[in-house]
A and B are shown apart, each in its own frame.
Chain A
Amino acid sequence: MSDTTKIEIRSLRKSFGSNEVLKNINLDVAKGGVVALIGPSGSGKSTLLRCINLLVVPDGGSVRVGDTSFAFGEGAKLPDVKTLARFRATTGMVFQHFNLFPHMTTLQNVMEGPVTVRRMAKADAEKLARAQLAKVGLAEKADQYPATLSGGQKQRVAIARALAMEPDVMLFDEATSALDPELVGEVLNVMQRLASEGMTMVIVTHEIAFAREVADRLIFMRDGVVVEEGPARQVIDNPREAATRAFLSHFHRTGALPPATPAS
């Protein structure tokens, strides 16, 4: 479609066995846009996020990120592993459980993508990795192993690792759900900074106040369908659908973001 739509998803379907997880999903994300996906667990929001970088291969519909698009369903050939890998290299993903590589130092974690996937020279990759670590406030942790870091620090390393691929799009899969409450702020802070720098982001989150503050659009999903969609503040402050209202009633919707502890 237009140049300004970075991610375009059309009539996306996915089933796991007889369980239909995504039913005819459409989603557009503008270049530089930040979209928050909220909804109860089992609503399909994580699966939808994983379909954007094809970690989960959809059963039907189409996915476009930037200039690359894939169609799925009858008659469509599944992309081969090389094509998939090249495509995923252009999107960054941050996981709920960090998934850092425990056998590598923080610096090696961040260098891994540039060296192995982008075939960057070690020295250049190290410079890039140190810059990314500095950006998330962890420059001095470069030589430590992930096991010695706090949850918040691990997640910031994971963000730096994804950013080192210099992606067009960042996907966050409940990036703060596994963190102790006092560590949530430092991660949200990094994400907020990234959004303000113009990164295109899709965020699966339970942090409603954060979504209200940082996201420009909000999508509420339930049982594999999009129930309500609109400007984040509008949906959170004045939900139209009863299901959205019921879900949001469980959360504090406004107020300051959790304070960020200084990078340590």
Chain B
Amino acid sequence: MYQWDFGILWSYRWLFLNGLGVTVGFTVVIVVCGLLFGLLGAFGSLSRFRALRLTALAFIEAFRCTPILVQLIWFYYALPILAGVEMTPITASALALSLYGGSFYSEIIRGGIVSIDSGQSEAGAALGMTPIQTMRRIVLPQAIKRMIPALMNQSIIQFKNTSLVSVLAVPDLVYQSQVAAHDSYRPLETYTAVAVAYAAILIPLTIIVRRGEKRLAVSE
């Protein structure tokens, strides 16, 4: 029977905290940037102009249909050779993860917008609103409510995807725990603790969002 000894991890606490800080900070950056890319992708794919629609579609499918691990490696190793663009591991992974997340956010946002009954835009237009006013005042406020569960889900995936940046030696929680595991010869304890840390952050977040959803639903 394996003898668990979590006590040994205490001496690595600063290493873990450091890694956790990087992971959380990274998530904030890639969720915010990813949402921006997602908005661009969604409005692009709904555009009246064919060229914009095709560009948005190409972006969405390129990032949605390739593995994130491959994208990370590609951004860090291939871009310098092909395009002469040198990036630090942190920039390369932030960019790859934001674009990857953005491709999924695009589809969520687009789906939310088209799910709003066309009668709503018609009513806005009939009042004399421009398409932009109708989008901002009528469609988006309703669509966002419908998008929130899916956006939250994707953001949870994004949070966990940050664990992949360890392949580019970005010192996130997983990377630091690898260091700790090698040092302590206690990988079971180390990775169990890491899993608990991810869950301990995510579960309260999901509860908060669920409460928020209920409050938003009241007006409907």
Contacts and interface: CB of A to CB of B under 8 A. Distances in A.
Interface stretch (B59-67, B127-135, B154-162, B181-189): B127-135
B127 A161 contact: yes
A53 B123 CA distance: 12
Interface stretch (B6-14, B75-83, B136-144, B204-212): B136-144
A162 B122 CA distance: 13
Nearest to B128: A89
A112 interface: yes
Interface in B99-145: 117, 119-120, 122-123, 125-131, 133, 137-138, 141-142, 145
Given A145-B219, A145-B220, A147-B220, A99 B122 contact: yes
For chain B, what secondary structure do more than half of its interface residues adopt (helix, strand, loop), or is it mixed? Answer: helix
A55 B125 contact: yes
B128 A101 contact: no
A81 B120 CA distance: 17
Contacts of A252: none
A231 to B, nearest CB: 29
B119 A116 contact: no
Given A82-B130, A103-B141, A88 B220 contact: no
A165 interface: yes
Given A81-B130, A86-B128, A116 B123 contact: no
B115 to A, nearest CB: 13
A112 B127 contact: yes
Interface residues of B, number: 20
A113 interface: yes
Nearest to A91: B126
A102 interface: yes
B145 to A, nearest CB: 8
A97 interface: yes
A117 interface: yes
B121 to A, nearest CB: 9
A92 B122 CA distance: 12
Contacts of A91: 126
A260 interface: no
A150 B142 CA distance: 21
B167 to A, nearest CB: 44
Given A55-B122, A55-B125, A97-B119, A116 B133 contact: yes
Interface of A: 53, 55, 81-82, 84-93, 95, 97, 99-103, 112-113, 116-117, 145, 147, 161-162, 165
8 contacts: A55-B125, A85-B128, A86-B128, A99-B122, A112-B127, A113-B127, A117-B127, A147-B220
